[in-house]
Structure 1
Amino acid sequence: MEFTPQQEGRVLVLSPLGRIDQAHADDFQRALGAFLPGCTGAGDALLLDLSGVDFISSIGLRALMIAIKQVKAQGGRMALAALSPLVGEVFSISRFDMLFEIHPDRAGALAALNMPNGQGGAA
């Protein structure tokens, strides 16, 4: 899985496509991991626009959990946006919605993440 990063102010946006399941989770984790070192308190925030993801399995959730732990340890900020109803339900059932800053859409996430530190919040 490859991402085409887009810089939006102080936010690096990644937009994965398809399924993040057993067959794709390792590629997803590897691709995402390449962008994590720059997501620090002094660097860019990271936004995953999940509008193009139609399914995520437990192994995909694991990849995201590893990423958010690294970002938080670095003092960075990572958020998710535009979860489909199915993906949103998986996050809710698994309680992963408690681990992540989740926004209903990309525009709202960008507005929150581009605010000075500490002023943006989850929607």
Structure 2
Amino acid sequence: MELQPQQSGRTLVLSPAGRIDHTHADAFKLALDPHLRDCTKDGVALVIDFSGVNYISSIGLRALMVAIKQVKPQGGRMVLAALQPLVLEVFTISRFDLLFEIFPDRAAALAAVGGAS
């Protein structure tokens, strides 16, 4: 899965697209992993722009949980933006909305982490 990384100051925006389900979750995790190392207290913040994601399954949620469990002890910040209604509903039902900072759009997420919009 291509994440289309875009640097915005000290923030890296990643933009997955399509479905993050049993077919694509491993590719999503593999694409995300290299960016997690640099998401530290003094490194880059990560904004994951979900505007292009129309579905996420439990295995996709697991990939995100593993990522945030790596980032938080490093002192990094990883936030999510622009979740489509169905994806936001999955996050709410699974209570992942309590695990992640979620912003309505990319600009709000960038403003929150100190990246340029």
Q: How does 1:74-89 map to 2 (within 5 A)?
A: 74-89=74-89
1:35-90 CA-to-partner distances (Å, cap 9, x unmatched) read 10000000010000000000000000000000001000111000000000000000
Q: CA RMSD in A?
A: 0.8
Check if 1:69 corresponds to 2:77.
Answer: no
Structure 1 CA distance for aligned equivalents of residues 102 and 58 of structure 2: 18
TM-score by length of 2: 0.96
Count of residues in correspondence between the two structures: 115
Q: Give the match's secondary structure for 1:88.
A: helix
- Gap runs ≥5 in structure 2: none
Q: Give the match's secondary structure for 1:22.
A: coil
4+ residue segments displaced more than 4 Å: none
Deviation of residue 3 (structure 1)? 1.6
Structure 1 CA distance for aligned equivalents of residues 36 and 108 of structure 2: 22
* Aligned amino acid, residue 83 of structure 1: L
If asked which structure has higher relative contact order (CA below 8 Å, sep 6+), I would say 2
Deviation of residue 7 (structure 1)? 0.6
Residue aligning to 2:26: 26
- Among the aligned pairs, what percent are the same residue? 70
- Gap runs ≥5 in structure 1: 116-123
